[in-house]
């Protein structure tokens, strides 16, 4: 692979990592409309599943459902959330890419303000739109979200 292509690949990977970081900040700051409108494709989907407990999978397809998922479900489950991603694996193939990464979070339960901790793994698909990347699919395998005093 020539130097120009190697540099372009590194730039794509960095843009995708920046997209993942932006996602965390926007979810944590309740900026759901901007997140969905500017960082997801129109036909994007989300599939979030929690391993512990009896919560049904949270599946949404298309920007209207994805936005509703963030506004109605995410906002009702946790408040004062801060979450981060790490251990990024990304494969770029032209104008598409895929990969996974881990996430960890701290938050409060909305009704009781109980401190919560959580972790899981995102599985992502991306589409290049102009000079930027957007999520075309974001799946989450949520290992746990539990009260801090309970621990994981």
Residue 55's pLDDT is what? 75
In the chain, where the domains are located: 3-147
CA distance 106 to 27: 13
Q: How far is CA 98 from CA 13, 34, 55, 71, in A?
A: 10, 22, 27, 26
Which pTM does this prediction carry?
A: 0.94
Q: Which two tokens stand for residue 25?
A: 């900040």
Beta bridge partners of 31: none
CA-wise closest residue to 65 among 47, 53, 92, 83: 47
Which phi and psi (to 5°) does residue 59 adopt? -120, 130
Position 68 scores a pLDDT of: 94
Residue 151 pLDDT grade (very low, low, confident, very high; cuts 50, 70, 90): confident
What are the tens digits of pLDDT across the range 12-47?
Answer: 999 999 999 999 999 999 999 999 999 999 999 999
Cα separation, 137 vs 115, in Å, equals 29
Could you say which architecture CATH assigns to the domain 3-147? Roll (3.10)
pLDDT, tens digit, 9 for 90 and up, residues 53-105: 777 888 999 999 999 999 998 888 899 999 999 999 999 999 999 999 999 99
């Amino acid at each position: 692979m020539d130097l120009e292509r190697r540099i372009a690949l590194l730039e794509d990977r960095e843009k995708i990592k920046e997209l993942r970081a932006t996602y965390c900040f926007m979810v944590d700051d309740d900026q759901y409309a901007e997140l969905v409108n500017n960082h997801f494709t129109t036909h994007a989907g989300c599939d979030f599943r929690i391993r512990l407990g009896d919560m049904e999978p949270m599946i949404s397809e298309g920007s209207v459902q994805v936005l509703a998922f963030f506004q109605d479900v995410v906002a009702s489950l946790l408040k004062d959330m801060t979450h981060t991603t790490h251990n990024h694996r990304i494969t770029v193939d032209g104008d598409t890419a895929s990969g996974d990464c881990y996430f960890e979070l701290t938050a409060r339960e909305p009704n009781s303000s109980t401190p919560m901790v959580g972790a899981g793994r995102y599985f992502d698909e991306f589409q290049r739109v102009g000079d930027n990347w957007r999520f075309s699919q974001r799946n989450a395998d949520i290992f746990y979200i539990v009260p801090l005093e309970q621990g994981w």
